[in-house]
Amino acid sequence: MKATEMLHDRGQSLWLDNITRSMLDDDQIQRYIDTHSVTGLTSNPSIFDNAVATGDYDESIKAVSQQGLSSEEIFFNLATADLQRAADLFAPVHERTGGVDGWVSLEVSPLLAYDTAKTVEAAKSVHARADRANLFVKIPGTPEGLPAIEECIASGVPVNVTLLFDADQYRAAADAYLRGIERRVASGLNPAVGCVASVFISRWDTAVATSVPDELKNQLGLAVGLETYRAYRDVMESSRFQLLQNSGARMQRLLWASTKTKDPAAPDTLYVQGLAAPLTINTMPNSTLDAFFDHGQVGEPLARDGGDCDVQLQRFAAAGVDKKALALKLQGDGAASFASSWTNLLSRIDAQRPSAKRVL
């Protein structure tokens, strides 16, 4: 049995962190479903920026530009079409699991990361346009994003909370989700609204790579993951959630993101093998997924109590790492990076449009 199948059978969902039109056209995503036990898919502005740069969308951009749309409108038309196709591929999984799995994700404009009202408006528009029950709208878990997450959940819009980096940020996202569900229960509405909380892992180790001793390298991400998993279990087992669960609510699942190993000296499956746990998700790019399929190992699941995360995090504190401050910096840097990719993406689209039709 391949490691991907074994991990799936032990209760963790494997999602693909990538999408391009060519991957849809040549059935690569379907093959991942059939052979690699992939049960969902995520996307972000960087992924689409890279996809557009390949030239896959040149003809479509030229054709759509004749409608006089803005570059942003052209992007959402193209991305929505791709995500609808992907959602249809995962629809059987979504139906079989009763809506627990089989999701795809499309992000609102990263330029809205610090604007609550416009994020809510955009999220509702994206969800309505996609018209797929198994499509998450990605909203960053910034302080301004949290009330937008609550409002969207309360309105029945499934949300993938993105750009979370530690247990504190996860708990804030979980609280926003629970508030939205509590509002639905109070209003007599169906509380089964899908939601995942995406915690970014590898960027921790990249951030401290040159400032910690060699014996601590490539260990901070996993330690933060363990601490966050402990917080996840605390929320899952809380009386607050169990009360909502009794009314039909579902758990906001924990998703491990940014799980491609950045250090070539470290194992290429480090953040897959080290973050195995039931009722969680690991979304990974093609290279990491293929590596785990080829030579991954499935060990023991994460410890409910966080294992040795407190000891490990104390070692990093002693080495001068301010985890709380770094988490805030990583979130801010992540939002800025996605905004930059978004700007690049729109510039690429605009550059491919007939000059007479360019509308910014």
What pLDDT digit, counting tens, does each position of 119-136 carry? 999 999 999 999 999 999
Predicted pLDDT at 360: 38
Of 146, 135, 134, 139, nearest to 123 by C-alpha is: 139
For the domain bounded by 3-350, which CATH number is listed?
3.20.20.70
Helix axes 58-65, 71-96, angle to 10 degrees: 120
Give how far Cα 214 sits from Cα of 196, 256, 270, Å. 34, 25, 16
Distance CA 187, CA 346 (A): 40
What pLDDT score does 354 carry?
Answer: 64
Q: Is residue 55 classed as helix, strand or coil in its secondary structure?
A: coil
* pLDDT at 339 (0 to 100): 92
CA angle, 269 then 270 then 271, to 5°: 95
Q: Is 259 helix (H, G, I), strand (E, B) or coil?
A: coil
Instruction: Check if the beta carbon of residue 105 is closer than 8 Å to that of residue 136.
Output: yes
Q: Which two tokens stand for residue 52?
A: 């557009």
Exactly one of 62, 118, 138, 323 is catalytic; name it: 138
Q: Is 2 an active-site residue?
A: no
333 and 232 in contact (C-beta within 8 Å)?
A: no
Give the residues of the chain that fall short of pLDDT 70.
354-360
Give residue limits of the domains in the chain. 3-350
Task: Give the pLDDT score at 359.
Answer: 40
Global pTM reads: 0.94
The DSSP result for 104-144, as a single string, is EEEEPPGGGTT-HHHHHHHHHHHHHHH--TTEEEEEE-STT
